[in-house]
């Protein structure tokens, strides 16, 4: 098969959902979905074939079982098989439905016809192979935090979105009135996805700039200028190294929304932020995940 993907199916106790998502996320899976099956939950995840060998998948299955053992829940059943690109796209699309987030967003799959009437901000999305449908607790937290931060103050900030994935947070920022957003991601598939979602939401390439790279590129693009707000939803291990770079593009009045952090990873992140002159104003949590609202 030309463009093949592993489809990984995990049947497990609903209380394992977060742990399983976290494990799959760390493994590099994309296009994850979840559906109820009686008293269990069936989680599907996808991974390009060239990113994992059979042995890696066997190890993943073992880790998932160990995770369940650690928390004293029944062991999940993991299966995998190869599917081609088209089957991958249609497989998870069936399970992703429009989602209301916060008081103002409606995240809407691109392949559904647009609703006639809605009093919400419609954010149309086809994440493709990128992360960011709004269903993950961290994206959800970031969207709610963003709404609270700029949804009601008409300040039209300039925002950096580091690890933009599908572009969901960048687009949400524009819908809430950001003057300009700079989105970066190291994954070329994410860049492609964010650009096509920018078009889908009829946002100009001047207002939402999407580039392949990370915080160093932002620094280069900005030159002497600073951003008003920073969004960064990546895993804690990555964020900790990005904090100096994030701090360098911030002004004395900047704010940030930082997520992708498991609750038990919060302290080292908070400490490092404080060492770089940030105040952790609030910490929001959803399931095992947390989101920092920070300011200078
Ligand atoms: C958890 S996803 C977040 C996507 C989206 N912003 C959201 O909130 O749903 C993290 C993204 O960060 C990207 N990423 C990982 N390390 C990065 C780094 N050092 N710099 C920039 N992007 C990075 C990944 O490719 C991935 O698309």
Average pLDDT, the chain: 91
- Report the C-alpha gap between 114 and 269 in whole angstroms: 40
- Report the C-alpha gap between 273 and 256 in whole angstroms: 11
C-beta 257 within 6 A of ligand 1: no
Ligand 1 closest atom vs CA 185: 22
Residue 48 predicted with pLDDT over 60: yes
Q: Is 141 helix (H, G, I), strand (E, B) or coil?
A: helix
Take residue 108 and report the two structure tokens written for it: 């809407």
Take residue 237 and report the two structure tokens written for it: 């291990």
C-beta 190 within 6 A of ligand 1: yes
If you measure from the C-alpha of residue 95 to the centroid of ligand 1, how many angstroms do you get, rounded to a whole number?
23
CATH 3.30.70.260 domain range(s) in the chain: 4-93
Is the whole model's pTM more than 0.90, yes or no? Answer: no
For 97-116, the pLDDT digits (tens) are 889 999 999 999 988 888 88
Nearest-CA residue for ligand 1 atom 14 is: 163
- Report the C-alpha gap between 96 and 269 in whole angstroms: 32
If you measure from the C-alpha of residue 67 to the centroid of ligand 1, how many angstroms do you get, rounded to a whole number?
24
Nearest-CA residue for ligand 1 atom 10 is: 234
Which CATH superfamily, name and number, covers 99-295?
Vaccinia Virus protein VP39 (3.40.50.150)
CATH 3.40.50.150 domain range(s) in the chain: 99-295
Tell whether ipTM is more than 0.85: yes
C-beta 151 within 6 A of ligand 1: no
CATH topology of domain 4-93: Alpha-Beta Plaits (3.30.70)
């Amino acid at each position: 098969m030309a463009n093949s993907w592993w489809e990984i199916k995990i049947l497990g106790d609903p209380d394992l959902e977060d742990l399983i998502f976290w494990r799959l996320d760390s493994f590099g899976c994309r296009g994850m979905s979840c559906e109820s099956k009686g008293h269990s939950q069936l989680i599907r995840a996808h991974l390009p074939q060239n990113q994992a060998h059979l042995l890696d998948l066997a190890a993943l299955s073992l880790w998932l079982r160990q995770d369940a053992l650690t928390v004293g829940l029944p062991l999940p059943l993991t299966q995998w098989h190869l599917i081609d690109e088209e089957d991958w796209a249609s497989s998870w699309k069936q399970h992703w439905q429009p989602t209301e987030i916060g008081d103002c967003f409606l995240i809407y799959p691109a392949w559904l016809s647009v609703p006639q009437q809605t009093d919400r901000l419609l954010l149309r999305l086809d994440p493709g192979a990128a992360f960011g449908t709004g269903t993950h607790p961290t994206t959800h937290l970031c969207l709610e935090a963003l709404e609270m931060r700029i949804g009601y103050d008409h300040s039209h900030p300039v925002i950096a979105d580091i690890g933009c994935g599908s572009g969901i947070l960048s687009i949400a920022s524009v819908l809430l009135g950001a003057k300009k957003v700079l989105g970066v991601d190291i994954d070329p598939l994410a860049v492609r996805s964010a650009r096509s979602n920018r078009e889908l939401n009829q946002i100009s390439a001047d207002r939402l700039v999407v580039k392949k790279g990370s915080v160093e590129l932002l620094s280069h693009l900005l030159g002497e200028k600073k951003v008003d707000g920073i969004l960064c939803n990546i895993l804690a291990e990555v964020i900790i190294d990005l904090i100096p770079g994030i701090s360098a593009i911030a002004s004395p009045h900047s704010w940030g929304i930082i997520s992708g952090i498991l609750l038990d990873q919060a302290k080292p992140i908070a400490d490092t932020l404080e060492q770089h002159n940030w105040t952790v104003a609030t910490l929001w949590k959803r399931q095992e995940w947390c989101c920092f609202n920070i300011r200078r």
